Structure 1
Protein backbone atom coordinates (compact mmCIF):
# COMPACT_ATOMS: atom_id res chain seq x y z
CA UNK A 1 0.00 0.00 0.00
CA UNK A 2 2.82 2.43 0.83
CA UNK A 3 4.25 2.13 -2.69
CA UNK A 4 0.85 3.04 -4.15
CA UNK A 5 0.56 6.01 -1.80
CA UNK A 6 4.12 7.15 -2.60
CA UNK A 7 3.36 6.95 -6.33
CA UNK A 8 0.23 9.04 -5.79
CA UNK A 9 2.13 11.64 -3.72
CA UNK A 10 4.86 11.86 -6.37
CA UNK A 11 2.26 12.23 -9.14
CA UNK A 12 0.60 15.08 -7.26
CA UNK A 13 3.99 16.66 -6.55
CA UNK A 14 4.74 16.59 -10.28
CA UNK A 15 1.35 18.20 -10.95
CA UNK A 16 2.25 21.01 -8.52
CA UNK A 17 5.86 21.78 -9.47
CA UNK A 18 6.09 20.39 -13.01
CA UNK A 19 7.92 17.38 -14.34
CA UNK A 20 10.88 19.44 -15.61
CA UNK A 21 11.58 20.65 -12.08
CA UNK A 22 12.03 17.09 -10.85
CA UNK A 23 14.09 15.68 -13.73
CA UNK A 24 17.38 15.67 -11.82
CA UNK A 25 15.89 14.46 -8.53
CA UNK A 26 15.33 10.84 -7.61
CA UNK A 27 12.35 10.83 -5.29
CA UNK A 28 12.29 8.22 -2.56
CA UNK A 29 11.10 7.89 1.03
CA UNK A 30 14.03 9.92 2.36
CA UNK A 31 13.56 12.82 -0.04
CA UNK A 32 12.96 15.98 2.00
CA UNK A 33 10.45 18.52 0.72
CA UNK A 34 12.65 21.42 1.79
CA UNK A 35 16.30 20.44 1.41
CA UNK A 36 16.06 18.01 -1.50
CA UNK A 37 13.14 19.42 -3.46
CA UNK A 38 13.38 23.07 -2.44
CA UNK A 39 9.59 23.22 -2.22
CA UNK A 40 8.27 26.68 -1.49
CA UNK A 41 5.55 26.96 1.14
CA UNK A 42 2.93 27.85 -1.50
CA UNK A 43 3.84 24.69 -3.42
CA UNK A 44 3.58 22.59 -0.29
CA UNK A 45 0.15 24.08 0.43
CA UNK A 46 -0.91 23.24 -3.13
CA UNK A 47 0.31 19.65 -2.66
CA UNK A 48 -1.58 19.30 0.63
CA UNK A 49 -4.69 20.72 -1.05
CA UNK A 50 -4.48 18.04 -3.76
CA UNK A 51 -3.92 15.36 -1.13
CA UNK A 52 -6.95 16.58 0.84
CA UNK A 53 -9.05 16.48 -2.31
CA UNK A 54 -7.91 12.92 -3.03
CA UNK A 55 -8.03 11.45 0.49
CA UNK A 56 -10.79 13.61 1.97
CA UNK A 57 -11.48 13.57 5.68
CA UNK A 58 -9.84 10.16 6.13
CA UNK A 59 -6.45 11.85 6.39
CA UNK A 60 -6.33 14.98 8.56
CA UNK A 61 -3.46 16.90 6.98
CA UNK A 62 -3.93 20.15 8.94
CA UNK A 63 -3.69 18.23 12.24
CA UNK A 64 -0.66 16.31 10.98
CA UNK A 65 1.16 19.51 9.97
CA UNK A 66 0.11 21.31 13.15
CA UNK A 67 1.54 18.46 15.22
CA UNK A 68 5.03 18.91 13.79
CA UNK A 69 7.63 21.12 15.42
CA UNK A 70 9.69 23.45 13.23
CA UNK A 71 12.58 21.01 12.75
CA UNK A 72 10.20 18.20 11.82
CA UNK A 73 8.40 20.45 9.37
CA UNK A 74 11.64 21.65 7.77
CA UNK A 75 12.93 18.07 7.47
CA UNK A 76 9.63 16.47 6.42
CA UNK A 77 10.21 13.71 3.88
CA UNK A 78 8.12 11.92 1.30
CA UNK A 79 8.32 8.85 3.57
CA UNK A 80 6.98 10.79 6.57
CA UNK A 81 3.98 11.94 4.57
CA UNK A 82 3.39 8.49 3.06
CA UNK A 83 3.62 6.84 6.50
CA UNK A 84 1.06 9.28 7.87
CA UNK A 85 -1.35 8.65 4.98
CA UNK A 86 -0.91 4.87 5.25
CA UNK A 87 -1.55 4.92 9.02
CA UNK A 88 -4.68 7.04 8.60
CA UNK A 89 -5.97 4.88 5.75
CA UNK A 90 -5.43 1.75 7.83
CA UNK A 91 -7.18 3.31 10.83
CA UNK A 92 -10.23 4.06 8.68
CA UNK A 93 -10.29 0.71 6.88
Structure 2
Protein backbone atom coordinates (compact mmCIF):
# COMPACT_ATOMS: atom_id res chain seq x y z
CA UNK A 1 0.00 0.00 0.00
CA UNK A 2 2.91 2.38 0.66
CA UNK A 3 3.99 1.93 -2.95
CA UNK A 4 0.54 2.93 -4.14
CA UNK A 5 0.51 5.97 -1.86
CA UNK A 6 3.93 6.97 -3.14
CA UNK A 7 2.84 6.56 -6.77
CA UNK A 8 -0.42 8.48 -6.24
CA UNK A 9 1.51 11.29 -4.52
CA UNK A 10 3.88 11.39 -7.50
CA UNK A 11 0.95 11.60 -9.91
CA UNK A 12 -0.67 14.40 -7.90
CA UNK A 13 2.62 16.30 -7.99
CA UNK A 14 2.83 15.85 -11.76
CA UNK A 15 -0.74 17.13 -12.17
CA UNK A 16 -0.54 20.23 -9.97
CA UNK A 17 3.17 20.93 -10.32
CA UNK A 18 5.87 20.67 -7.65
CA UNK A 19 5.89 24.43 -7.04
CA UNK A 20 2.26 24.33 -5.92
CA UNK A 21 3.03 21.66 -3.33
CA UNK A 22 6.02 23.34 -1.68
CA UNK A 23 5.90 22.42 1.99
CA UNK A 24 2.90 20.11 1.54
CA UNK A 25 3.39 16.47 2.42
CA UNK A 26 0.91 14.15 0.75
CA UNK A 27 -0.24 11.54 3.27
CA UNK A 28 -3.22 9.23 3.59
CA UNK A 29 -5.07 12.00 5.45
CA UNK A 30 -4.47 14.66 2.80
CA UNK A 31 -7.76 15.74 1.22
CA UNK A 32 -8.09 16.60 -2.43
CA UNK A 33 -10.26 19.64 -1.84
CA UNK A 34 -9.19 21.29 1.41
CA UNK A 35 -5.50 20.36 1.52
CA UNK A 36 -4.62 20.19 -2.18
CA UNK A 37 -7.28 22.45 -3.65
CA UNK A 38 -7.54 20.30 -6.79
CA UNK A 39 -9.59 21.87 -9.55
CA UNK A 40 -11.90 19.65 -11.58
CA UNK A 41 -9.55 19.73 -14.60
CA UNK A 42 -6.68 18.57 -12.38
CA UNK A 43 -8.85 15.79 -10.99
CA UNK A 44 -9.60 14.67 -14.56
CA UNK A 45 -5.88 14.65 -15.37
CA UNK A 46 -5.23 12.59 -12.23
CA UNK A 47 -8.01 10.18 -13.23
CA UNK A 48 -6.35 9.71 -16.63
CA UNK A 49 -3.00 8.95 -14.99
CA UNK A 50 -4.58 6.47 -12.56
CA UNK A 51 -6.40 4.72 -15.38
CA UNK A 52 -3.24 4.49 -17.49
CA UNK A 53 -1.09 3.21 -14.62
CA UNK A 54 -3.50 1.01 -12.64
CA UNK A 55 -6.47 0.49 -14.96
CA UNK A 56 -8.67 2.08 -12.30
CA UNK A 57 -11.77 3.98 -13.42
CA UNK A 58 -11.95 6.91 -11.01
CA UNK A 59 -15.25 8.11 -12.48
CA UNK A 60 -16.93 4.81 -11.59
CA UNK A 61 -15.48 5.03 -8.06
CA UNK A 62 -16.82 8.57 -7.60
CA UNK A 63 -20.21 7.77 -9.14
CA UNK A 64 -21.45 6.21 -5.90
CA UNK A 65 -20.50 9.27 -3.81
CA UNK A 66 -22.44 12.44 -3.19
CA UNK A 67 -20.73 15.79 -3.70
CA UNK A 68 -19.85 16.17 0.01
CA UNK A 69 -18.09 12.79 0.02
CA UNK A 70 -16.15 13.69 -3.10
CA UNK A 71 -15.09 17.04 -1.66
CA UNK A 72 -13.94 15.42 1.59
CA UNK A 73 -12.19 12.45 -0.03
CA UNK A 74 -8.71 11.74 1.23
CA UNK A 75 -5.74 10.37 -0.64
CA UNK A 76 -5.93 7.34 1.68
CA UNK A 77 -9.45 6.50 0.54
CA UNK A 78 -8.30 6.60 -3.08
CA UNK A 79 -5.24 4.47 -2.24
CA UNK A 80 -7.49 1.90 -0.51
CA UNK A 81 -9.71 1.77 -3.60
CA UNK A 82 -6.74 1.26 -5.91
CA UNK A 83 -5.21 -1.39 -3.65
CA UNK A 84 -8.50 -3.32 -3.58
CA UNK A 85 -8.66 -3.28 -7.40
CA UNK A 86 -5.11 -4.24 -8.36
Task: Specify if TM > 0.5.
Answer: yes
Q: Is residue 49 of structure 2 the alignment partner of residue 50 of structure 1?
A: yes
Max Rg structure: 1
Unaligned stretches of 5+ in structure 2? none
TM normalised by structure 2 equals 0.94
Tell me which stretches of 4 or more aligned residues in structure 1 moved more than 6 Å: none
Between the two proteins, the alignment pairs up a number of residues equal to 86
Q: How large is the RMSD of aligned CA atoms in angstroms?
A: 0.9
Unaligned stretches of 5+ in structure 1? none
Corresponding position of 2:33: 34
Deviation at 1:60, TM superposition (A): 2.9
Q: Is residue 83 of structure 2 the alignment partner of residue 86 of structure 1?
A: yes
Normalized per residue, the structure richer in helix is: 1
